[in-house]
Amino acid sequence: MSSLKEIRTRINSVKSTRKITSAMKMVAAAKLKKAQDAVLNLRPYDQKLHEVLVDVARSIESEGFESEYIKQNGSDDKVLLILITSNKGLCGAFNSNIIKKGLDLAGGKYYSQWKAGNLSFYTIGRKGTEFFRSKGYPLYGSNDDLLEDTSFAKAQPVVKAIKAAFINHEFDKVELVYNKFKNAAVQILTVDQFLPIDLELEREEEESDQEGQAHGKTEQYNYIYEPSREDIVRELIPASLRTQFYEALLESLAAEHGARMTAMHKATDNATDLIKDLQLTYNKARQAAITNEINEVVSGAEALKQ
C-alpha cells in the first residue's frame, strides 16, 4: 500500500487537474454559444442560396448551358480532400474521426486515384496538418490560421485558390470532410462534394426527400428573370461556393467546442470519482497506521509490566 504522503500528493494532483478541466469546460461552453449562434444563423441562408442556384441551373440545363463549375459527365481522375480538424486537442475523438475518414476515403472510394498518385489532401487545422506531414502523405496545402478568429473575408482566399486549381484542371473533384454540429454531445462526420456542382446528385437527394413527405399537389410558377438566367447562375455559383465553405468552417468550430466541452465535463467527473477513491484509500491507510501505532503502544506497555 502507498504511503500516506504519496496518497495525499496524488489527491492534490488530481484536484489541480480537476480545476483545469472544469475551467476548460466553462471556456468551451462560452465559445460554443457564440459558434452555435453563428452556424444556426448561416444555415438557412446557405440552404436557400443553394436551392435557388440548383433550380435556375436546371431550368437552363436543357438549353445547352454549361459552366466549368457544374459537372458535365467528366472523370474523377484527380481528387482533392479538404479536411477540417482543430488547432487544439482535448476534444475527444473530434480530430481522429476526421483523419480516419480521410484515410478511409483514400483506401476505399478513391483507392485507384490514391494508387495512381492523383489524390491529395488540403488540411485546415493544426492537428490534421501535423498528422499528414509527419506521415508523409501528399499535402496540396494547409491553412491552420484560418481557425483563429474565423471570418467570411478571411476564408475567401482559400476558396479562390481551390476554384482556380479546379478550373486549371489540377483536380477533377473536391470534397469537404468535417464535423457538422448537431448538439454539444453529438457531431456528425460529414463528406460534402464541393466541386464540381453535381445537379444529378441534387436531384436524387430531392427525390429522396419528396418520398418521405406527405402526398400533396405541387404548384409550379413561371418566373421572370432579370438579368438572364445564365447571368444569375454565373453570379450565384461563386457566392454559393463561398458560403458553403464558410458554413463548413463554422460547423466544424461549433462541433469542436461542443466536443471539448463534453470531453472536459467527462474528465471533471472522472477526476471527482478518482478523488473519492483516493480519499477512501487514504482513510483506510490512515486507519491502519493508527491501529498499528496503538498495537505498538499496547505491546510496549505489556512488556513493561513484565
Angle between helix 229-305 and 152-167 (nearest 10):
120
Whether 91 is catalytic is yes
Q: How far apart are CA 306 and CA 301, in angstroms?
A: 9
CB 262 within 8 A of CB 92: yes
* Side chain identity, residue 10: R
Q: What is the CA radius of gyration of the chain?
A: 29
**74, 209, 251, 58 alpha-carbon torsion, rounded to 10°:** 40
Catalytic residue of the set 35, 91, 105, 146: 91
Region of residue 181 (phi > 0: left; psi between -120 and 50: alpha; otherwise: beta) = beta
CB 164 within 8 A of CB 149: no
**51, 54, 57, 62 alpha-carbon torsion, rounded to 10°:** -130
- Note every long-range contact of 39-43, with CB atoms under 8 Å and residues 24 or more positions apart, other chains counting: 39/181, 39/247, 39/250, 39/251, 39/253, 39/254, 42/243, 42/246, 42/247, 42/250, 43/247
Which residue numbers are catalytic? 91
